Amino acid sequence: MQSPIDPKSKIQNPKLSRVLVAIGGGIAAYKVCELISTLFKTGVEVRVILTRSAQQFITPLTVATLSRHQAYTDDDFWQPTYSRPLHIELGEWADVMVIAPLTANTLAKLAYGMADNLLTNTVLASTCPVLLVPAMNTDMWEQLSVQRNWQQLSIDSRYHGMNTGSGLLACDRVGAGRMAEPPEILTYIQSLLHTQGKRDLIGKRVLVSAGGTREYLDPVRFIGNPSTGKMGLAIAQAALHRGARVTLVHTPANWQAPLGVQAIPVTSAEQMHQAMVEYLANADIIVMSAAVADVKPRDYSTEKLPKRSLPEALPLEPVPDIVARLAQLKQSHQILIGFAAQTGDIVNPALEKLEKKKLDAIVANPIDRADSGFGSDNNEAIFLDTQGRQVAIAPCSKLEMAHQLFDFINNEF
């Protein structure tokens, strides 16, 4: 009898990540097709389980085509066609299991340890992290029994739950219960593959700044920089996925803060200064990754200045030194991390800033290298701390760097 899993593949390629996607019966199932396709394109090996009700929305042929592998259903589960039980094979194979959409029915089964189909049997026959992505009608989601089951799973360290969003649902109801979008699910999966499900920031509060501040001359002109806030966003995502309560102070961006993160939108350095100071007292870890202006126009016009009225020399004045002020106010139990975006030599300017600003550690990252720094999805850096330690981080995704930063913090402090 043929096994559904090639036992040699993991030995031949031990770095290959394996994700088992289990699809429940709900209209949001169509969104999971994008997730499966993206996982495959990023080099992840994917297997898919479809519940019987999920097949009312999408077909096994669809997900098999996207994953480049046979899809598994309850019909496969009950047939003696494999050398070992299918749910055992799949459970041992997976590095991460994702259940999306998670229905009220499957949620209840998981909460009570039931196993009456391929999906639930595979969950109980595995030890990998399980990412739960619920989707249902608002009234269903808010039922006391459903929330009780959700809370029951939340105390089990194996299960990682994504918050539902709010919006227009397929039932024409506007409210909570909307499934998280595929890119956000993908990010959470990538975090779980790095951490292997550990939540070492539970009970911690993380305060992050992100983006480039804007200092306006008039309603349409400003002094700014190219920062998109992607690094700060990745830090917030990594902290959230590791169990922290996260506050993200960010400037205007073309992304949305993750579900479950407290987002504080600001524009100028002064506004960021006020927000960071306000939320500092409750934070355990503060990461100042924003690119903050050094100066601003001395004068501001409430109306757009005509070109002929623009000054030949623009009078400037300094803005608040946010990270220096945070260092003055922080308590002994708090950890303050700064960033130093540099061209050329990145280490010496970072060491100078580390000492001058009285930081606990600093991330020195180059902005003059290809596919790194401002606007890129990737980054590279050197982590430095007050004990003289330096850790070089090779080019990687910004999410991966964010996780390596928290690994560094947990190891060094």
In the three-class reduction of DSSP (H, G, I as helix; E, B as strand; rest coil), residue 399 is classed as helix
Q: Is 93 left (phi over 0), alpha (psi -120 to 50) or beta?
A: alpha
| E-strand stretches of 135-173 | 159-161, 165-168
Catalytic residue among 33, 128, 171, 396: 171
Instruction: Count other C-beta atoms under 10 Å from residue 361's C-beta.
Output: 23
* In the block, residue with structure tokens 């590095």: 95
CB 185 within 8 A of CB 172: no
Backbone angles phi, psi at 39, to 5 degrees: -60, -45
Q: Are 248 and 283 in contact (CB under 8 A)?
A: no
Judge whether 362 and 312 are in contact, CB under 8 Å: no
- d(CA 413, CA 409) in angstroms, rounded, equals 6
Q: Judge whether 396 counts as a catalytic residue.
A: no
Rounded to the nearest 5°, which phi and psi values hold at 40?
A: -60, -40
Beta strands in 13-72, from DSSP E residues, in sequence order: 18-23, 45-50, 71-72
The residues that are catalytic are 171
